[in-house]
Every structure is written in C-alpha cells, then in structure tokens.
C-alpha cells in the first residue's frame, strides 16, 4: 500500500473518530430551555465553529504523526509535492464531496420549508458536512487503489 | 473502474535500464512513486507531457514506451 492510500485511510478514520467523539461530547450539552431560544442558536453556532476548529487542528496533528510513523516503519520519505495524478484525484474527491454537501444543504433548507424544527436543519447541515468529508476521503482511496 | 486503453512498457524498460527503481524513474520525470505504480498497473493514462518525459527518461520515442489498445 502506498503513502497516498494509507493517508486516505488515516484521514477517513480520523474524520469518523473526530466527528463521533465531538458529537458524543456535545450531545449532553444541548440546552434544556425553549426549543428555539437564543441559547439553542448559540449551541448550534458553537457546535459548527468548534467542530471546524477541532477538525483542522486534529487533522494537522494526525497528519504529522502519520508522517513520522510512515517514515519510521517504511524508511521512505513522504512525497513533498502533488503531481498530476494527485491533483486529478483531489479534484474528483472535491467534486464528489462538494456535490454531497450541496445536496445536504438543499435538504436542510427543505426541512425548513416543510416546517421541521430548527434542530433538524442544523443536524442535516452538520451531517452533510461530515458525509462530504468522508466521501472526499473514500473517493481518494478508491481512485488511488483502482485508478483514474 | 475500467482499464485504460493507453498501455505501456514501463516495467520492462525499467529493468532494461539497469533495474531502475520506480522511485528513481519518478524522481527523473518529476512525479511521485504512486503515479509510476498506477501507470505500470494500467490504472492511469498520463498527460502528454508526462508521457514525453518518461520516453525521454528511457531515451526512446514515445511509441516505444506507450501504445494504444491491445499490444499483445
């Protein structure tokens, strides 16, 4: 298995773990008050912002750790640049990821139209962000293994 | 994902060139080893520019490194 394949797998697992652990941590903190109180909006706002920040930091740390482990276990250096194949796969991953996020975004807006509670819209929005992240990693893994 | 129609003799040519490693060829043509692996497996059709760079690395014309369709 090459560096890029391993990196896609690590990225996929870390995305699932980060989202899962963060959701489990935030779930009990859901405000008890009115369903659409200021506190509820604050909760969802902080959920998204902190998740974004935590994801970025965790991905950077995991990426550094992965590179160290990769160097030690394989005696190979990680590629320092992205070549034409990497860029092509990156574009395909971004396309699929973006497509799924847009679908999720539209579904979230649709939930407001059919009078669903506000938290349904936020959950769909956050889940679509997570699914699009996972899709990006899966697409990369698929194309690195099966070709373009 | 179907196999690409552009095939190549890169693996054989590497061995004929002092058993050049995938990494050495990758360094020579400016791509990662992963790309050489994908090319040898027939999982990726290179850009015209990369195809020329690979042919130059072996000092051969393009058609002696790459072929279109079945070459058996």
CA distance B29 to chain A (A): 10
Looking at the partner chain, which of A79, A142, A146 has a beta carbon nearest the beta carbon of B32? A79
Question: pLDDT digit string (tens) for A119-140?
Answer: 899 999 999 999 999 999 999 9
Question: pLDDT digit string (tens) for B1-35?
Answer: 555 788 999 999 999 998 999 999 999 999 998 89
Q: What is the pLDDT of residue A80?
A: 83
B50–A147 CB contact, under 8 Å: no
> What does the domain layout of chain A look like in residue ranges?
3-146
The span from the CA of B26 to the CA of A73, in Å, is: 21
Q: What is B7-58's CATH number, 3.40.1190.20, 3.20.20.70, 1.10.260.40, 3.30.750.24?
A: 1.10.260.40
The span from the CA of A86 to the CA of A143, in Å, is: 10
> What does the domain layout of chain B look like in residue ranges?
7-58
B47–A84 CB contact, under 8 Å: yes
CA distance B24 to chain A (A): 13
The span from the CA of A100 to the CA of A134, in Å, is: 10
The span from the CA of A117 to the CA of A119, in Å, is: 6
**In terms of Cα–Cα distance, which of B2, B30, B1, B29 is closest to B13?**
B29
Q: What is the pLDDT of residue B62?
A: 94
Instruction: Give the residue-averaged pLDDT of B28-52.
Output: 92
Among B38, B42, B48, B52, which would you mutate to test the A interface (most chain A Cβ atoms within 10 Å of its Cβ)? B38
Q: What is the pLDDT of residue B72?
A: 57
């Amino acid at each position: 298995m090459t560096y890029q394949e391993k990196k896609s797998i690590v990225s996929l697992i870390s995305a699932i773990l980060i989202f899962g652990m963060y959701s489990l941590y935030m779930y009990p903190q859901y405000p008890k008050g009115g369903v659409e109180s200021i506190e509820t909006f604050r909760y969802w706002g902080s959920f998204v912002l902190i998740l974004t920040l935590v994801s970025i930091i965790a991905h950077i740390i995991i990426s550094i750790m992965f590179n160290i482990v990769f160097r030690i276990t394989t005696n190979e250096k990680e590629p320092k640049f992205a070549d034409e194949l990497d860029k092509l796969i990156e574009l395909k991953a971004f396309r699929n990821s973006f497509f799924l996020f847009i679908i999720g975004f539209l579904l979230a807006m649709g939930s407001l139209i059919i009078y669903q509670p506000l938290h349904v819209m936020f959950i769909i929005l956050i889940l679509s962000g997570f699914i699009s992240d996972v899709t990006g990693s899966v697409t990369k893994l698929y194309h690195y293994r099966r070709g373009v | 994902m179907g196999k690409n129609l552009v095939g190549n003799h890169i693996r054989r040519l590497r061995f004929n060139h002092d058993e050049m490693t995938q990494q050495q060829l990758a360094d020579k043509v400016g791509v990662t080893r992963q790309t050489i692996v994908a090319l040898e497996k027939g999982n990726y059709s290179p850009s015209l520019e990369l195809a020329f760079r690979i042919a130059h690395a072996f000092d051969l014309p393009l058609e002696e490194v790459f072929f279109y369709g079945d070459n058996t």
